[in-house]
Each structure stands twice: as structure tokens, then as C-alpha cells.
Amino acid sequence: MNDRAASVSPAFDFDRVIERRGTHASKWDLIARYSGIHAPDAIPMWVADMDFAAPPGVTEALAAETSLAVHGYYGDTGTWAQALAEWFARRHDWKIDPAWVSPTPGVVSGLGLILQAVSEPGDEVVVFPPAYHAFRRIILANERRILDAQLVERDGRYFMDLDALRAQLTPATKVVFFCSPHNPGGNVWSRDEIRALAALCAERDHILVSDEIHCDLLLDGARHTPTIIAAPEVADRLITCVAATKTFNLAGAHVGACVTSNAALKRRLDARVMASGLGSYNRFGMIATEAAWRTGDAWLDALLPYLAANRDLFDARIVAAAPGARSMRLDATYLAWVDFSGTGLAPADVAARVKNRARIFASPGSQFGPGGDTWLRFNFAIPRPILEEALGRLDDAFSDLRR
Ligand SMILES: Cc1ncc(COP(=O)(O)O)c(C=O)c1O
């Protein structure tokens, strides 16, 4: 075990391998369905959930609920939004009034509800590809159109090209989906970058949706600036989406929140929530996520150096395994983003090696839209013994390149 992680996380055993096969774990039990890998020893490095036990406070809260054994409708007494507000004040210096918060059954469903609240079918929604694939899915499912504002890579980092975007905008462009920190690539956007985007939204009267679900997963002390703090002047056109689920490995809880200080905008969103019958919340999800925000600080503080050490190990080994491969340096997230174009191999060959030789399910870069074709995304939020096994297999899968 890496010394850095060992010295920081004696209380939490992130090295422990928990058998998730046969537990309705999408990540493990749907490998064959989504990847075509049928090997029983396949390693999933695709969907963004971690193979670590949740914070003990979450387990205790759920155990208390289980022993109560009565699981009726959840009564929202306000403690959940209060816990959310206290977390963001404590961790990100962001003072949220609980009255700004609308719970949703996850961030992606929140994005869909926002689109329904602020745009019409046929309207254009800006995304910055390569970008989280569900942005594309939810835009198209809501019969809106995608306007791709291609990210530009410089010195191993992504940048937004807002001049190019300005030239692409049309009267039909109504909404901007901003991912902060960015997935994939793990960019922590600077205050100036956020302000420049916010200014463009103000200039063109766009609703700015800031998906900050990865904002707690910061590596090496990186600092996340909430969009509302970078650009308070756009508060009236801003909806920020947050969740405890990514931070604390509770994705199955399916609870997120949309936050906006614009009361009229919130009413429009809440009307869509009501129209979809979503005004009553998942009891288990609310209990788990409230407990996470209230009790999860020490767990997260121990997790982050463990993830940083996994990132360093993964990056060093993938580059050594496949000469010419490049792993983008992540400031945030646990999703390594690797460009194989420098290996000289065709993307299909790379994919086949990872899938068939290494028996690893990584997310295909093409899922993330234009600019992703030669990339694969690897989720390294896994116990180190499994990561070591995966890296050994990747080493074998590309061994002929090193002869
Ligand atoms: C940027 C981003 N937004 C949202 C989600 C998923 O959110 P939820 O499961 O709450 O719908 C993910 C999951 O990977 C993500 O990366």
C-alpha cells in the first residue's frame, strides 16, 4: 500500500476488496450486457461509482432505518437541505439558503427537468465535448438539439474556446450545460474561465446550468470555485446541480439537487418536478445523503489522497505499458482520461486489446462526443489490489508495442 494513503487513512480501509458481483451492482453485474466481455474475471473501470464502502455514518443511518422496519413516505422537515447547505458552506465557502434547493432523483433527471422548465423542443443546448455522455442523452431525449462547443487541448489540459462558441450560437440556443469540474479530463476551471462563460451567457440571455457533482473529488489540494461564487452577477440565470452521491459513493441512492436563488426560475423548475410526480422523495436516498453530508468529512479527507495515489500509479503504469499513450493530469474526479492516438494503433485495436486481452471494461471515448474517439476513460476508484491486477493486464495487452 502506498505510504501516502496509509499515513492518511488508518481509519478507513480503502484497500478492502468487497465482492459486488451478484449484488445488483450495475458496474459489475452489467459488464457483459454493456461491453460484451463475458470473462468471469472482467474488471469494470467504466461507470463512475467506486468500489469502496460508504462513510460509516451512512451505514449507521441506513442500519437505523432498517431496524426501524417501517419505511413509509419521507417527510421533508428541512433537515436534508440544511445538511446540504452546511456541507457547501463548510467545504466550498458557498452560503446556500435552503429555500433555493429543489431535490431531484439524481442530477441527470434534474438536467431533464431544467430543460423542460426553461426551453422548448428544438432549442439548442450547449455542451463542451468531450463531455459527460448523459448530457447528450438527456438533451436528445427531451427533443432539444446539441450545440457542440469543442474543448481545445493545450499543454495537457482542456480550455473552452468561447470565441468559437460565440460564432456558433443561434437564436435557438437557450441553455448551456457546464460541467465543473469537467468530466472527462478532471479540469478544475479557474475563476476567470467561469466568469468568461458566465459573461457570454448574460450577453446572449442563456440559462447556465452548472453541474458540480464532482466538486468534492479534488486531488492534491485543488480548489473548486462554485460558479455562483465566481460569477454572482449571473445568479438569476444560474442553476447549479449538486449531489452527495458521487462524493460518498451513493449513486444507487439517486438523489441530487438543483440550486438557484432565482425564485421565479425555481418555481418553473418545481412545476416540472410536480408535473412528473417527483415531489415526494426516496426515503432511503434522503437518509443516506443527509448522513453523508453530516458525517462524511473525515472519510472524504482520507479518500482523496488514496484516489490521488491511485491516479499517480495508474498514470505512470499506463504510459509505461503503452508507449505513446497520454493520461490527462486530473485535478479532480477518479476517471483517468487516456489518449491512445500516439501509440500508432487504431482506436478499434486499442479497444479490442483492453476488452479482450485485459478483460477490462473502460468507457469508450466516443461516448463523450466529438474529440473523444482516440481516448478511453478508466475509473480507478477501486481497491489497490484490483488496480494492480488491472494494470498488470494492461501491461500484457500492449506488451508487443514495447519490443
Ligand atoms: C458530470 C456528471 N453529472 C451527473 C452524473 C450522474 O448523476 P446522477 O447519477 O445523480 O444522475 C455523473 C455521473 O458520472 C456525472 O459525471
Would you state the pLDDT for residue 403? 83
CATH code 3.90.1150.10 region(s) in the chain: 3-56+297-402
Q: Is the CB of 249 under 6 A from ligand 1?
A: no
Q: In CATH, what class is 3-56+297-402? A: alpha beta
C-alpha 269/C-alpha 113 separation (Å) is 7
Largest CA distance in the chain: 65
What is the CATH topology of the domain spanning 73-295?
Answer: Aspartate Aminotransferase; domain 2 (3.40.640)
Dihedral-angle region of residue 360 (phi above 0 means left; psi in -120 to 50 means alpha; beta otherwise): beta
pLDDT at 9: 47
Residue 13 Cα to ligand 1 middle (Å)? 25
d(CA 347, CA 373): 7
Mean pLDDT of all residues in 171-177? 98
Compute φ and ψ for 248, nearest 5 degrees: -110, 15
- Taking the C-alpha atoms of residue 368 and residue 34, their distance in angstroms, rounded to an integer, is 16
The three cell numbers of residue 268 are 418553473
pLDDT tens digits, one per residue of 39-91: 999 999 999 999 999 999 999 999 999 999 999 999 999 999 999 999 999 99
| Residue 52 near ligand 1, beta carbon < 6 Å | no
**pLDDT of residue 329 exceeding 90:** yes
- For residue 107, report the distance from its CA to the centre of ligand 1, in Å: 6
Going by CA atoms, what residue is nearest to atom 13 of ligand 1?
Answer: 48
Tens digit of each residue's pLDDT (9 = 90 or more) over 138-169: 999 999 999 999 999 999 999 999 999 999 99
User: How far does residue 214's CA lie from ligand 1's centre (Å)?
Assistant: 8
In the chain, where does the domain assigned CATH 3.40.640.10 lie?
73-295
The yes-or-no verdict on residue 7 having pLDDT over 60 is no
Beginning with the edge strand found earlier in the chain, give each strand of the sheet holding 238-242 in spatial order. 101-104, 256-259, 238-242, 207-211, 173-179, 124-127, 145-148
Task: List pLDDT tens digits, range 190-216.
Answer: 999 999 999 999 999 999 999 999 999
The reply to whether ligand 1 has any atom less than 6 angstroms from the CB of 176 is no
pLDDT at 119 over 90: yes
245 touches ligand 1 (CB under 6 Å): yes
Residue identifier of the C-alpha nearest atom 7 of ligand 1: 107
Which residues have a Cβ under 8 Å from the Cβ of 221 and sit 6 or more positions away? Answer: none
pLDDT tens digits, one per residue of 212-261: 999 999 999 999 999 999 999 999 999 999 999 999 999 999 999 999 99
Q: Tell me if 108 CB under 6 Å of ligand 1.
A: yes
- Long-range (24+ apart) CB contacts under 8 A made by 72-76 are 72/283, 73/280, 73/283, 74/280, 74/281, 74/282, 74/283, 74/286, 74/287, 76/103, 76/281, 76/286
- Is 251 touching ligand 1 by the criterion CB < 6 Å? yes
Q: Which atom of ligand 1 is nearest to the CA of 109?
A: 11
Cα 394 to middle of ligand 1, angstroms: 27
The number of helix segments (H) and strand segments (E) in the chain equals 15, 14
What gap in Å lies between CA 215 and CA 244, rounded to an integer? 10
**Cβ 132 under 6 angstroms from ligand 1:** yes
Amino acid letter, residue 113 = L
Beta carbons within 10 angstroms of residue 312's beta carbon: 15
Q: How far apart are CA 203 and CA 254, in angstroms?
A: 35
Percent of the chain at pLDDT > 70 equals 98
Name the residue of 246, 286, 379 whose CB sits within 8 Å of the most ligand 1 atoms, as the mutation to test its pocket: 246
- CA of 48, closest atom in ligand 1: 14
**Ligand 1 atom nearest 245 alpha carbon:** 10
Rounded distance from Cα 183 to ligand 1 centre (Å) = 9
Residue 265 has pLDDT above 60, yes or no: yes
Quick check: 217 and 331 in contact, CB under 8 A? no
DSSP-assigned letter for residue 367: G
Strand pairing category for 207-211 and 238-242:
parallel
pLDDT at 10: 60
Q: Of how many residues is the chain composed? A: 403
User: What DSSP line would sit under 139-160, residue for residue?
Assistant: HHHTT-EEEE---EEETTEEE-
* HSE, side-chain direction, 13 A CA sphere, residue 297: 10
Q: How do strand 335-339 and strand 375-379 relate by DSSP bridges?
A: antiparallel
- Residue 217 CB less than 6 A away from ligand 1: no
What's the CA gap between 48 and 377, in Å, rounded? Answer: 10
Q: According to the model, what pLDDT value does residue 2 have?
A: 43
Distance 344 CA to ligand 1 centre (A): 33
Which atom of ligand 1 is closest in space to residue 47's alpha carbon? 14
**What is the pLDDT, as a whole number, of residue 96?**
98
**Is residue 183 within 6 Å of ligand 1 at its C-beta?**
yes
